Amino acid sequence: QVQLAESGGGLVQAGGSLRLSCAASGSSINPMGWYRQAPGKQRELVATITSGGTTTYGDAVKGRFTISRDNAKNTVHLQMNSLKPEDTAVYYCNMNRQRWGLPDYWGQGTQVTVSS
């Protein structure tokens, strides 16, 4: 099984930046992504990236966040700039396994708090 180890969360002021990292064991060919969940809200898509580098972003973060991956190191990053209080959430690293008909792998989450 795969373990996803997240790091980089913390407390920042509005307008600041954070860089999240997720180190995954196992295969590097699966699509990966970041999702977030704020208190009282449903989990939402932040960004995804395929093994070939194709990316998608949630509307709320377009132009501010950038997802990238290093397949050799099996690591995915999320550069978050111009952070807003509404970005406050627990951010979860995800490894998609839908192609194989299997449940996704999820990290335990890292807290991002943006103060106004």
**Confidence band for 26, pLDDT divided at 50, 70 and 90:** confident
pLDDT tens for 29-59 read 899 999 999 999 999 999 999 989 999 999 9
Query: Which amino acid belongs to residue 96?
Result: N
d(CA 79, CA 6): 13
> pLDDT over 70 for what percent of the chain?
99
* Mean pLDDT within 91-108: 94
pLDDT of 1 strictly over 90: no
Residue showing tokens 């550069």: 79
Edge-to-edge strand list for the sheet holding 65-70:
4-7, 18-24, 75-80, 65-70
* Pairing label, strands 89-95, 32-37: antiparallel
Instruction: Give the chain's mean pLDDT.
Output: 94
* Mean pLDDT within 18-24: 96
